[in-house]
Amino acid sequence: MNSLFETTSSQSILDRLDKLTPETPAQWGKMDVSQMLKHCQAPLDIALENITLTSKTGWLQKQIMKLFKPLLYNDKPWKQGLPTAKELIIDTPQDFDKEKTRLVLLITEFSKKSTVKTWPNHPLFGYFTPEQWGKMQYKHLDHHLNQFNV
């Protein structure tokens, strides 16, 4: 499984981002390319502790999340149309260049932290090892780049 902590994997993601244009159509889903770029920033912002999700999860939801947690960082591709936290849904117009630039900066910042041993708990899924954080971030970006056929 690729990880955003691997130089070749993070560079591959950056190279794929370079292929996007403001007109790149989605193969599935409701987001346009600019909204997707904004959406992809949130998991990186969470890991880097730039933002905090405000949604409260109940006991039952936490138990359900534990069942899905391994799917976030295993080798199997994510299915299309998976649910996401309401704070991560982007349904307003976004500026393509601004969002792409910020996403590249976040990927670069995150990928340089391969030696960090302690990461914050994820607000919905709890503890991830550094290895799991790297794989999960790669998998999320890969999923959405596939959504836009790059």
Residue-wise pLDDT tens digits, 6-32: 999 999 999 999 999 999 999 999 999
- Tell me which DSSP letter residue 5 carries: T
Q: Find all residues with CB under 8 Å of 147, minimum gap 6, and list them.
A: 26, 27, 28, 29, 31, 36, 80
The strand pairing partners of 126, in sequence order, are 122
Spans of all domains in the chain: 7-147
Give the other-Cβ count within 10 Å of 108's Cβ: 11
pLDDT over threshold 80, residue 49: yes
Confidence band of 48 (pLDDT split at 50, 70, 90): very high
- Token pair listed for 49: 């502790």
Class of domain 7-147: mainly alpha
pLDDT at residue 130, as a whole number: 96
